[in-house]
Structure 1
Amino acid sequence: MSIITIVGAGMMGSAMSGPAADNGHEIRLVGTPLDREIIDSVRETGFHPTLHQQLPAAVAAFQAEELDKALEGAELVIGGVSSFGVDWFAEHVLPLLRPGVPVLSVTKGLQDGPDGTLTPFPHLLAERLPEEKRGMIPFNAIGGPCICFELLERRHTMVYFCGADLAVLEKIRALLSTDYYHIQLTTDVMGVEGCVALKNAYAMGVSLAVGIADREVGEFDAAAAEALCTPGAPDRNPVYNPQAALFAQSCLEMRRIVSLAGGDGALAGELPGAGDLYVTIFGGRTRRLGMLLGRGIPFTEAQEILKGVTLEAVVIITRVARALRARGENPDYYPLLFHMDAILNDGAEVDLPWSKFGR
């Protein structure tokens, strides 16, 4: 049995307690300052109020102020913060990490630089380590199609663990692999992390088609908007042909971007790209955002409807479009991405550039 500390009590980080518990480990779940109510609930009843599920009995909950205690003796640290929590993680968690203890992150995102470079979060965190710990802590990440609810329900899931050292990855896989949580390994951090970040962007793009079809059938009032944003609600007017075409275009653009950034673009057609995109377009906040925008609702209004919801797609679209411009890339190679950027950041109306797709 090992001690595994999960920092960040969001849905995906918390769901990682499932395979960890099934392997007999002691699990410590630490909330960020934004997770106080979640931690209180898990402490009192074991119930996670955002996941709407019971966490395993092996989970002990800690508030942010107890972070140092929760990290004592940990043999693996799982970073469970969203991309918006990376700065908090770097400031408060990195100084407390012990040399040699690996970090496995569920955080999805890329940071762009002024020269157009795109940096995955494991590399970014390694750069932000205190000087005396540089090179002493291995940073790794998870990528691939994994819905948190299904992970806790023990449905078969296949993912990638990526990091610089295969031996470290093998040890982490041994801690977390189960007969339903299937793990592949790769040292291509940019390939995996580029795909799983971009899939959030392109899930919004594919979902525009559903909103467009919905707009074509008639009125759309406040009640319809609320229903649209209810997790698990069926589409009012499901469409498949345009979604399939947008899915293919998304994979094409992901392949180009990942290759440009130094990763294996072929992964865009495998688990981290197409696989993760597939599950993301079936539900969740990114899909709801795309549907609202496709319906003709301006981004500012869509933000208000989705108030309190983390919209990571907006960040990744903005950063990647900015990076491609800095590199002087031809926007015609990425027509869907640049159209999404125009919708979000320039107030452009949704008008999918079909004639540019597939080239």
Structure 2
Amino acid sequence: MGQVTVLGAGSWGTALAIVLADNGHDVRLWSHRESYVKEINEHHTNEKYLKGVSIPANVKATSNLKQAVSGSKEIVLVVPTKAIRDVCRQLVDVIDTKVTITHASKGIEPETYKRVSEVIKEEIPEELYNAIVVLSGPSHAEEVSLRQPTTVTVSSENLEIAKSVQDLFINRQFRVYTSPDLVGVELGGSLKNIIALGAGISDGLGYGDNAKAALITRGLAEIARLGTSMGANPLTFSGLTGVGDLIVTCTSSHSRNWRAGYKLGQGADLEEVLEDMGMVVEGVRTTKAAYQLSKAEGVEMPITAGIYSVLFEEANPGDVVDQLMTRIRRHEMEDLTNILDEKMKD
């Protein structure tokens, strides 16, 4: 077993560090906050993000990025998407051996519409890494840290290296599949956060399971439409990183995107919600990016557009739901038929 570096000591980064430590790896967990480093090293806890969870002794935290990556051939990048570029720029100066970079961040960059792997490629020269891998799937950090059964997917343009990352993480509680569809895996993991905001809004408004089921199902159709237009395999969205991640994020209070949406549905404004959360809500930034991207791609995404209007145009959540319910009549299979037709053309 070797050394693995995890960059980002939030809930997900810490949970993945625990998985790697359970597998016998020596884990260096980097945080830019010295208080988190001190707590992890002295008390083996990270109470802000994972209350009551004990962190294995073979997880060593540091706030020194050079120290964190020195000698590591495996880097797991788990910082908020808005921090990806900055951290990658810092990595260029401290990587001392060719590495495999696995990211577990879910988002799309506004304005550029870049997926996380594309952002990494822009900032880190190819000669510094073997491959870029994404790890995604239905996985609440709280449950992973308690060793509850979880299944995820890894994907890369280099499938052999994806298999090596599969071996790095897989154990009896944390099952890992591989997929050749990097675009689909990244987009599914990112776009589901938008629908989770919508599910929270629906619950906050007091609507029932019928409304949420409709939102999840039609939200999946939107994800597949945009994903396919960008080159993803539509079948990916019926798997773990599509419908699987969508279900877990839209139906659980563990989901910070659902919790943020719930507060919005109850009448709180966005600034108040984000301040109360005290953690990054990736769906907010991704909604802006996906809305912009749908316009650029000419892809119809009415749910995303509605959530965008709630977040950034101060639209009333109840009015947005009413607008969605009174849209023009159409055939349910129309989306699937159009997607398959496009793939046949390819």
* Shared fold per TM-score greater than 0.5: yes
Give the superposition deviation at 1:327.
3.0
Across the two proteins, how many residue pairs are aligned to each other? 322
Is 1:121 the counterpart of 2:151 in the alignment? Answer: no
State the partner residue of 1:70: 68
Is 1:195–1:254's contact at 8 Å kept on the other side of the alignment? yes
Deviates more, 1:101-110 or 1:292-301: 292-301
CA distance in 2, matches of 1:59, 1:92: 22
CA distance in 2, matches of 1:25, 1:202: 36
State the partner residue of 1:292: 263
State the partner residue of 2:90: 92
Provide Cα deviations, 1:61-108, integer angstroms capped at 9, x if missing partner.
111xx2212212212111121112212212212332345310111111
Give the superposition deviation at 1:136.
4.0
Give the superposition deviation at 1:301.
3.9
SS at match of 2:151: strand
- The counterpart of 2:214, out of the listed 227, 240, 245, is 245
Please show how residues 17-166 of structure 1 align to structure 2 within 5 Å. Answer: 17-31=17-31, 33=32, 35-49=33-47, 50-52=49-51, 53-63=53-63, 66-113=64-111, 118-130=113-125, 133-134=126-127, 136-166=129-159
What amino acid maps onto 1:299 in structure 2? L
CA distance in 2, matches of 1:139, 1:94: 15
Provide Cα deviations, 1:133-157, integer angstroms capped at 9, x if missing partner.
4474411111100111211221111
CA distance in 2, matches of 1:67, 1:139: 19
CA distance in 2, matches of 1:91, 1:71: 14
Is 1:341 the counterpart of 2:308 in the alignment? Answer: yes
Is 2:107–2:283's contact at 8 Å kept on the other side of the alignment? no
State the partner residue of 1:8: 8
TM-score calculated relative to the size of structure 1: 0.84
State the partner residue of 1:217: none
Is 1:206 the counterpart of 2:176 in the alignment? Answer: no
SS at match of 2:176: strand
Provide Cα deviations, 1:99-139, integer angstroms capped at 9, x if missing partner.
5310111111112556xxx3211122012114xx4474411
SS at match of 2:4: strand
Change beyond 3 A, Cα 1:262–1:27: same
Say what the alpha-carbon RMSD is for the aligned residues. 1.9
What amino acid maps onto 1:122 in structure 2? S
Provide Cα deviations, 1:291-333, integer angstroms capped at 9, x if missing partner.
1222233334434443x3312111000011011222344xxx3
CA distance in 2, matches of 1:134, 1:73: 16
What amino acid maps onto 2:290 in structure 1? V
Give the superposition deviation at 1:266.
2.4
Please show how residues 188-337 of structure 1 align to structure 2 within 5 Å. Answer: 188-213=181-206, 239-281=208-250, 282-283=252-253, 284-306=255-277, 308-329=278-299, 333-337=300-304
Is 2:71–2:96's contact at 8 Å kept on the other side of the alignment? no
CA distance in 1, matches of 2:298, 2:161: 38
CA distance in 2, matches of 1:290, 1:154: 28
What amino acid maps onto 1:313 in structure 2? G
Is 2:136–2:185's contact at 8 Å kept on the other side of the alignment? yes
Deviates more, 1:14-23 or 1:162-171: 14-23
Is 1:26–1:58's contact at 8 Å kept on the other side of the alignment? yes
CA distance in 2, matches of 1:27, 1:135: 21
CA distance in 2, matches of 1:88, 1:112: 15
Change beyond 3 A, Cα 1:28–1:301: closer
Is 1:158–1:183's contact at 8 Å kept on the other side of the alignment? yes
Change beyond 3 A, Cα 1:61–1:298: closer
SS at match of 1:102: strand
State the partner residue of 2:344: none
Change beyond 3 A, Cα 1:97–1:186: farther
Is 2:70–2:94's contact at 8 Å kept on the other side of the alignment? no
